[in-house]
Structure 1
Amino acid sequence: MILVTGGTGLIGSHLLFHLVSNGKAVRSNYRTKKSIEKVHMVFEYYTESPNKLLEQIEWVKADLTEPGVLECLFIGVEQVFHCAALISFDPKDFKLLELTNVEGTANVVNLCLKHGIKKLCYVSSIAAIGPSLGKKEVTEENEWNESKASVYGITKYQAELEVWRGSQEGLSIVIVNPGVVIGPGFWKSGSGSFFTYASKGKKYFIPGGTGFVSIGDVIGAMTQLMESNIQTERFILVNENLTYEELFKKIAPKLNVDPPSNKVSKVMIECFWRWDWVRSHVFGKRRKLSKVMAKSLFNREIYISDKIKSTLEFDFEDLDNAISFCCEKFTDRS
């Protein structure tokens, strides 16, 4: 039996499809029945019989922050893919991020140890590696700098420490640090928001850039690592390093719209994050852009995936194919 936490998210849902399609016995947690509908939608992108595969998953209602309820997930399990996480860059959410990402991961690690789980794969993020320092390329050996990290990145880094702690106590682990994951199904969040934004024919793009990777490559790397003898290692998963301008130039033509052509100026960003702070503290609105995130928009980060390539002889797919597939599914979503 394989356990997938966060099976109703982008990575988790695609991982579930891969596992059940290959005849694996799978269990996953969920919080609401509505969230399982999103998994059904993702399955529809890849098969004409989504219900048949969905019925093969053993669903258990459980929250990562409740160890007593969570324990039933681990009975009879040999491998765990820990994909669950809260994603927010609003400093006001720091305590909630700590609860879900750090304490939730600690709970998973503790239960893996208690139940003798053979191997744990933790899905972290390049946000837990941090930005390049001195314009250097970022590798797994990058020096952590909390002062330049988002609240999300800080909690993912702290969650990794919990996973490393588990390895010191005898748990076999691997960690993956994906870049921005390109995959269909969640059009209002993550990389999906790029497709939604581009489809509206927007005129502005933000400066800077980061690392991108297809959902297929993330799932492929995770499953290969779990099937291997590799342990106590972390791997950056980035196929291409793109500016946001370059990304929109790839997406927009496939949606039959013009790509954004005007770069948001530094003055506009500086003004916006300050106004965003005011509206948050005075009017109680949710933050859209923190100071740390605003500063990061001026940088183009370059992430290197040589380690996964050499360790597994892993070949990344053409990112353009993944973008084309997402554009096709975005267009057909209605």
Structure 2
Amino acid sequence: MILVTGGTGLVGAHLLLHLTENEACVRAIYRSAKGIEKTESLFKLYKKEHLFAKVEWLEADIIEVPSLETAFKNIDYVYHCAGLISYDPNDENLLRKTNIEGTANIVNFCIEYNIKKLCHVSSIAALGNLQAHETQITEDTEWNPEAPHSDYAISKHGAEMEVWRGQQEGLNVIIVNPGVIFGAGFWNQGSGRFFSGIQKGFPFYTNGSTAYVGVTDVVKTMMKLMESGITGERFIVVAENLPFKKVIYKIADKLNAKKPTIEAKPWMLSIAWRLDWLVSTVFRTKRTLSKYTTYSLNSSEQISNGKIKNALDYEFQSIDNVIREVVLLQK
């Protein structure tokens, strides 16, 4: 039997859809009934409602050890998709607790219950930092603790350390590092805000770039890696490196929305994150822009997908097609 953590999120929900399509016996943990409703809505979106009933749901939390005892009974394989994504500096402690301690709990249970293999969903945020002589970030690029990193990146890096600790204790592991993931069904959270924000007429763009991938490719490569004999490896899962402006324009075209016309220059972002901090401090509101976020919005590092393509002989769907599919499904 397969256990999926984070089954109410973008990756986890799509993974459940694909696993049930392949007639796998699946158990998924959840924290709230509303989360399950989001996953059920995704199944309906793909007209696969009949498959949703095949998922065994269990209320549990990766940071609450007692609740995980039942979740791991009779489990052979684990996909650890659960995690917190936040770029609000005020969430530093919660990020560490969820992403590092939560992953440590999953690893410990995997070892205790003799799980055959664990697939951990990390992020390109946890990858290393380019040195002067390097041109592309790969799985072997070294993490530089002195370089600027968001609290989210640090927490995902720490989570990976827990997975490698599990490997040293005899657990078979795989780590995937997806880029920005686009997928249907989660329009108003995470990367879905690219679409909902542009649809509402967001006026700004930056000249940075990052790596993108469709959620279907993420799920398919995870499943292929779990079915393979490959263990003790991490794989970058990205389709294309693209400028933010180009991606925003692609989405605007597909949505028939107005394209942004104002370039958010570095000095403007520098002022913006300070104003955001001030507003957050005075009114105790959630931060929407941090110093690191503004740095990343102007960064243009290239990330390689060569290792996963070679290992699985895999071809990724173009981001243009991914965007088209997301928009068509949401309409």
CA distance in 2, matches of 1:10, 1:261: 30
Deviation of 1:131 (Å): 4.9
**Runs of 4+ with >6 A deviation:** none
What percentage of residue pairs aligned between the two structures are identical?
A: 47
Do 1:130 and 1:149's aligned partners in 2 also have CA atoms closer than 8 Å? Answer: no
Do 2:128 and 2:140's aligned partners in 1 also have CA atoms closer than 8 Å? Answer: no
Equivalence for 1:140: 139
Equivalence for 1:75: 73
Structure 1 segments unaligned to the other structure (5+ residues):
none
List per-residue Cα deviations over 1:215-247 (Å, max 9, x = no partner). Answer: 111011000000000000000011011111100
Deviation of 1:204 (Å): 1.6
Supply the AA of the counterpart residue of 2:6.
G
Deviation of 1:280 (Å): 2.3
Range with bigger deviation, 220-229 or 194-203: 194-203
Equivalence for 1:149: 149
Deviation of 1:69 (Å): 1.2
Range with bigger deviation, 107-116 or 88-97: 88-97
Structure 2 segments unaligned to the other structure (5+ residues):
none
Matches within 5 A, 1:190-269: 190-269=190-269
Equivalence for 1:165: 165
Range with bigger deviation, 22-31 or 270-279: 270-279
1:133–1:250 CA distance, 2 compared to 1 (3 A): farther
TM-score by length of 2: 0.96
Do 1:131 and 1:301's aligned partners in 2 also have CA atoms closer than 8 Å? Answer: no
CA distance in 2, matches of 1:253, 1:329: 16
Range with bigger deviation, 184-193 or 300-309: 184-193
Supply the AA of the counterpart residue of 1:218.
V
Range with bigger deviation, 91-100 or 258-267: 258-267
Matches within 5 A, 1:1-334: 1-47=1-47, 49-50=48-49, 52-134=50-132, 136-146=135-145, 147-330=147-330, 332=331
CA distance in 1, matches of 2:300, 2:225: 29
Deviation of 1:250 (Å): 1.1
Range with bigger deviation, 156-165 or 199-208: 199-208
Do 1:3 and 1:74's aligned partners in 2 also have CA atoms closer than 8 Å? Answer: yes
Range with bigger deviation, 176-185 or 127-136: 127-136
Deviation of 1:130 (Å): 4.5
CA distance in 2, matches of 1:120, 1:260: 42
Range with bigger deviation, 214-223 or 142-151: 142-151
CA distance in 1, matches of 2:194, 2:129: 21
Deviation of 1:133 (Å): 4.3
1:192–1:132 CA distance, 2 compared to 1 (3 A): farther
CA distance in 2, matches of 1:91, 1:142: 26
Instruction: State the aligned residue count.
Output: 329
